[in-house]
Structure 1
Amino acid sequence: MKVPPLLLIALPCLSFAAPEQSNTFDCLIEPNQRIDIRSPANTLIDKILVDRGSTVKAGDVLVVLDGSVEREALAQAQQRAESEAEVRVARARADYAADKLRRREDLLSQNYISSQDRDDSAAELRVAQAELALAMDNRRMAGTEMQRLNAVLRQRTLRAPFSGVVTERLQQPGELAFTGEGSAKPILRLAQTNPLRVEVVLPVAMMGKLSAGRRAEVVPEAPLQGRWQAQIKVVDRVFDSASGSFGVRLELANPKGDIPAGVRCKVSFP
């Protein structure tokens, strides 16, 4: 029996289309990471500079917390660190005690005073030198306190750790931000949208055929349109025995932010 010519022409087409169809899998486009912006201390919220849906860049100021107490303490520490009065007084006492000891030693060599008088002057010099060292230590400690308070004040300004989108605004200016586990509530929720993460579950039969760095094509579900190139970043090495599958994570560049997150998609591995 001869095969009709029309069927012979169709067979190569079927054999070519079958692998392409079996190489396409369901996937999900998600933000690369989601984080909660919280206060590092129990303090009032002074300003919130963004709202839900705001696009932010890494380093942008999101929230300003009240830091009036720390600023007052910083001013006092700066005054102590820059003041030389205490050191000058202690140094003058030490110089006077040293001169007094030299005079006592001269008088002792001429037998005008007793050794006890000379020893008393030496003890006064040691005390004055210790007071000078203490004054210098206090000044250095004030400088260290300045650095600590500056660090605390920097923490009162909450910045975006990455470029992304504000997904939720949970508190308002004037509210008290808490740090305890029971009462703590995020101020903002932020999602990183560049790059995006594409999650796909593959059958065990695909194991060994994929590796990190390989390219794939991602197509979103309708009504969205487009075809985007993604790159494999993670290939799981532990199977899900119940479903006979394993996970693969891809990275999808989204520099302009025009690719939405949270949508279903199809991914194919050419």
Structure 2
Amino acid sequence: MKPSRVLAFVILLGAIAWIGSGVFGRDGEQTAALAPQAETQEQSLFRVAVLPVTVENHARRIVLSGRTEADRRVTVIARADGTIEQLNVRRGAQVKTGDILAVISDEAREALVAQAKAKLEQRRTELRARLKLIEQGNLAPLQKPQLEAELRAAEASLAQAETELSKNKVRAPIDGMVIDVPVETGQPLQIGAKVAEIIGLDPMLAVVEIAERQLGGIAVGDTAKVKTVNGVEAEGRVRFISAAASAQTRTYRVDIELANPDGRLPDGVTCDVILELAPEPAAHVPRSALTFSAEGRLGVRVVGAGDVVAFVPVRIVEDGLDHVWLGGLETGQRVIVQGQDFVKEGQRVTPVEASATVIGKG
């Protein structure tokens, strides 16, 4: 082989070796550069605070504004004409059933009673005498039914006269408090004139109006708590739920019966009524976790498998100042409670369990 050819062959091998060393060097440098870049991407994932939730049956509560109302309210009227001779009560008096509130002049009703008594005694005497005559055969037996009928008529006349006389006394029909006495001693009255007004304070009612969407959550017998504006607190039970809505407000009347033996609860005072509705599955989360999807749906963002963000639509079961009860979640889901507005669905994040200060107290 000629020396020139050998030299050319050596030069070719050298060139190939030089080119090869440059390619392999760059591949090594690229591989060495990719490892730190992957580590940097891992470290740059957005950190979010998450709270694992537990779904439980939660009894919803609603607070409604209402008023107290006396269970019984009676207007006492005069049942006879006459003048008030005696007035025994005034506003604020406590009365029992049957107590005499006022006495009206008899207007000859006592005389009518005396006359009826005399007539009855006469009929009795006549009946005894004629029965003896009938027994002796001196009087026809057919007269006995007539004599007995006359006696019964005399008894009825006396009962009627005594009833009219009893109307002189105006009596309390219920236990309660007298709240109005619009008459005075010596005042003439006619039948039907108002003498007094009485309200029964025990039991007392708390009356509220409930929306139709909440109507299905309560039932007669449910417990309710009541607090009046003057600080009196009481607990009672739902006694009545209206079956017809108000034409003006489209709400339904609900009566809560409250024991009031000492009269602490007055009639007509404003009060707050707390009703517990039927329980339903819900999770307790901070209110700040609520957000909206791109479509405008209310929900929360959660961290799912692979630490990937997902959006879960929810419904508010019960609203609160700092926390809410939400339906639509599942036990164990990690709800993002901090940073949810800075991430989007499908994004991979670094979840960090929320601290007690974030979780707060129920």
The answer to whether residue 158 in structure 2 is matched with residue 137 in structure 1 is no
The answer to whether residue 240 in structure 2 is matched with residue 234 in structure 1 is yes
Correspondence for 1:48: 87
Correspondence for 1:172: 184
Correspondence for 1:250: 256
Tell me, in whole angstroms, the C-alpha distance in 2 between the residues paired with 1:190 and 1:151: 24
Distance 1:129 1:217, change over 3 A: same
Correspondence for 1:187: 195
Provide Cα deviations, 1:125-160, integer angstroms capped at 9, x if missing partner. Answer: 55x964x65554333322222222222233332222
Tell me, in whole angstroms, the C-alpha distance in 2 between the residues paired with 1:185 and 1:80: 33
Provide Cα deviations, 1:36-84, integer angstroms capped at 9, x if missing partner. Answer: 1111122222222110111112222212222352222212222232345
Tell me, in whole angstroms, the C-alpha distance in 1 between the residues paired with 2:167 and 2:259: 31
Correspondence for 1:86: 126
Correspondence for 2:99: 60
Correspondence for 1:111: none
- Kept in 1, the 8 Å contact 2:175–2:200? The answer is yes
| 2:108 counterpart (61, 65, 69) | 69
The answer to whether residue 211 in structure 2 is matched with residue 203 in structure 1 is yes
Provide Cα deviations, 1:87-114, integer angstroms capped at 9, x if missing partner. Answer: 4554576678x45xxxxxxxxxxxxxxx
Correspondence for 1:215: 223
Structure 1: where are the runs of 5+ without partners? 100-124
SS at match of 2:216: coil
1:173 to partner: Cα distance? 2.1
Q: How does 1:2-151 map to 2 (within 5 A)?
A: 2-3=47-48, 20=61, 23-67=62-106, 69-83=108-122, 84-87=124-127, 90=130, 98=137, 126=140, 130=143, 134-151=146-163
SS at match of 1:238: coil
Distance 1:175 1:201, change over 3 A: same
The answer to whether residue 301 in structure 2 is matched with residue 262 in structure 1 is no
Distance 1:201 1:93, change over 3 A: same
Provide Cα deviations, 1:143-192, integer angstroms capped at 9, x if missing partner. Answer: 2222222222333322222111111111112222212xxxx531111112
Distance 1:241 1:92, change over 3 A: closer
More strand by share: 2
Tell me, in whole angstroms, the C-alpha distance in 2 between the residues paired with 1:243 and 1:137: 62
TM-score (ref. length: structure 2): 0.55
More helix by share: 1
Tell me, in whole angstroms, the C-alpha distance in 2 between the residues paired with 1:240 and 1:138: 58
Structure 2: where are the runs of 5+ without partners? 1-45, 277-362
Distance 1:85 1:257, change over 3 A: same
What root-mean-square deviation, in Å, do the aligned CA atoms of Structure 1 and Structure 2 show? 3.0
Residues paired across the two proteins, number: 227
* 144-153 vs 34-43, greater mean Cα deviation: 144-153
- Kept in 2, the 8 Å contact 1:220–1:263? The answer is yes
Tell me, in whole angstroms, the C-alpha distance in 2 between the residues paired with 1:196 and 1:164: 11
1:86 to partner: Cα distance? 3.2
TM-score (ref. length: structure 1): 0.72
Tell me, in whole angstroms, the C-alpha distance in 1 between the residues paired with 2:274 and 2:186: 50
Letter in 2 for 1:230: G
1:28 to partner: Cα distance? 0.4
- Kept in 2, the 8 Å contact 1:170–1:185? The answer is no
| Percent of aligned pairs with the same amino acid | 22
Tell me, in whole angstroms, the C-alpha distance in 1 between the residues paired with 2:232 and 2:185: 41
Which structure has the larger Rg over C-alpha atoms?
A: 2
- Kept in 2, the 8 Å contact 1:94–1:129? The answer is no
Tell me, in whole angstroms, the C-alpha distance in 2 between the residues paired with 1:186 and 1:242: 32
1:240 to partner: Cα distance? 3.6
Tell me, in whole angstroms, the C-alpha distance in 2 between the residues paired with 1:70 and 1:206: 59
Tell me, in whole angstroms, the C-alpha distance in 1 between the residues paired with 2:131 and 2:172: 49
Tell me, in whole angstroms, the C-alpha distance in 2 between the residues paired with 1:153 and 1:192: 28
